[in-house]
Amino acid sequence: MIKIAIPGSAGRMGGMLIREIAGAPDLKLVAATDRPDSPFIGNDAGEIAQTGANGVLISSNPEDLFGSADVVVDFTSPAASLHHAELAAAHGTAMVIGTTGLSASDESELVALAQSNAVIYCANTSVGVTLLTQLVQEVAAKLSEGWDVEILETHHHHKVDAPSGTALALGKAVAKGRGVTFDDVADMVRKGQTGARKHGDIGFAVLRGGDVVGEHSVIFFGDSERVEISHRATDRAIFARGAIRAARFAATANSGFYDMTDVLEG
């Protein structure tokens, strides 16, 4: 039995994860937290996630996540995830982090912290997007000279960061495939007199609205032809299922920093 703790348990992904855990015979929810000013502190985590009461009360103390859990699965905010990663390192507890919007220095800190525990960090835990990212890197290596790459993403109106963590990961895959530094070629903002598109840039476009779970397209524009590779998520459960697969991997993994590709290959 793998014991799991969920910070952000009253959130959209937190609820999804608790529902997945409730349906899995090899998993047990042992702790749940949310931010100190959450109206759900003290409530039963199962009732809030609509699985029925499970006796785990939502706490505001992050230390409670590290009492008995084998793995902490964190979909919260960048600041909260970093704090939890520091606590996980101190306790030697494995972690899966799905939070997006982390800066490059936040990501470096996560890598540095993963010395005495396994940390799986992934801005998109869906199996489909993990494969899409690999495919995009391969295509970008082949369609390099004379091809312009644009990345288009659409998400629901609650999303607080842009471009999405997945769009950035896809951009990094393109840069890797082409052997260039992502920060040198990423073009995230276009407004006013931008001048002509620079050859080699990776452009980003962002749409926000309604209840769209997540859509990503990587478009390679050539002369007189276009290659488009897309992924559409229609149910957030895919992210929760992927995160749970990562949690099972984390429970037995050696210390170190991993991504979703490691989980799929593991």
Cβ at position 236, least distance to ligand NAD in Å: 6
Cβ at position 40, least distance to ligand NAD in Å: 8
Smaller CB distance to ligand NAD: residue 11 or 171? 11
Is residue 171 within the footprint of ligand NAD (CB under 6 A)?
no
**Residue 216 appears among annotated catalytic residues:** no
Query: What are the backbone angles phi and psi of residue 215, rounded to the nearest 5°?
Result: -135, 135
Residues of span 231-260 touching ligand NAD by CB under 6 A = 239
Which one of 27, 48, 59, 76 is in contact with ligand NAD (CB under 6 A)? Answer: 76
Residue 22 tokens read as 């409730």
Q: Cα(186)–Cα(57) distance, rounded to whole angstroms?
A: 44
Which one of 2, 5, 29, 77 is in contact with ligand NAD (CB under 6 A)? Answer: 77
Q: Which amino acid makes up residue 141?
A: A
Q: Cα(106)–Cα(165) distance, rounded to whole angstroms?
A: 13
| Burial (Cβ within 10 Å: 0-12, 13-18, ≥19) of residue 173 | buried
Residues of span 18-37 touching ligand NAD by CB under 6 A = 33-35
Q: Cα(90)–Cα(101) distance, rounded to whole angstroms?
A: 24
Cβ at position 11, least distance to ligand NAD in Å: 2
CA dihedral 184, 190, 195, 200 (to 10 degrees): 30
Is residue 176 within the footprint of ligand NAD (CB under 6 A)?
no
Is residue 163 within the footprint of ligand NAD (CB under 6 A)?
no
Residues labelled catalytic: 155, 159
